[in-house]
Structure 1
Amino acid sequence: MLLPAKAEVARQLRQYRAWERMMLAAPADRRIRSTFEDSGYTLCVLMGKRCAREAADAAERYLRTTLVSYLREEPEYLREKPERTGPRTVTRRGPPASDRRSPAGR
């Protein structure tokens, strides 16, 4: 799993929080709301989350922990699956090969 540089996450989180404060102060201002939503989207992309609130929480957790502890806290479905090292078995479906007819043999 690739993670962004902590300096970039900190910068984007500061911007998100600043625009959040401005949006809460002037909720009717469309320009502020649009910029706030853009900063939330950027944070979502950086942190790999679907919701800006989750992305902000993940960014704060990422900034206050080490990489190893952050990855341990993430849900298991986000972690990469280990490569299979054993032999792979293929299950064949259908009749045995001797019962199959080729289309050319008809």
Structure 2
Amino acid sequence: MLLPGRAQVARLLRRYRRWERLLMAAPHNEAVRRHLEDTAYTLCILMGRRTAPEAVRAAEEYLAATRRPRGHRHGSGHRDTARGGDLTAGGAGRRGDRGR
């Protein structure tokens, strides 16, 4: 089973929460409502759920389950000196210039 990327889920959940707050502040704003509905739909598809509350709950559970252990530092600086690439998570095979 394919699972969504943690960063993508976190970003979408933050966006959903932001639109939700904006809608609570301006309940008659149709543009805000449309953005919230679009974000909710995307979150439902990404998490494989039928309703926004189910998708939000699934996203929160997924993020909690995939949280890095405390003290783990992303990008610890390990380098492949032969190739000049970064061997840390997310950086395998990249050059030290990060693609610039």
Fold match by TM threshold 0.5: yes
* Ranges in structure 2 where 5+ consecutive residues have no aligned partner: 67-100
**Residue 20 of structure 1: aligned partner:** 20
Distance in 2 between residues matched to 1:53 and 1:25, nearest whole Å: 19
TM-score, normalised via structure 1 length: 0.61
Offset, 1:2: 1.1
Structure index of larger Rg: 1
- Residue 46 of structure 2: aligned partner: 46
Which one has the bigger helix percentage? 1
Report % sequence identity.
58
Larger RCO (alpha carbons 8 Å, 6+ apart) = 1
Give a deviation string over 1:1-52, Cα, whole Å, max 9, x none.
2110000000000000000000111110000000000000010011000101
Q: Which structure 1 residue ranges, 4+ long, deviate > 6 Å from structure 2?
A: none
Matched residue count? 67
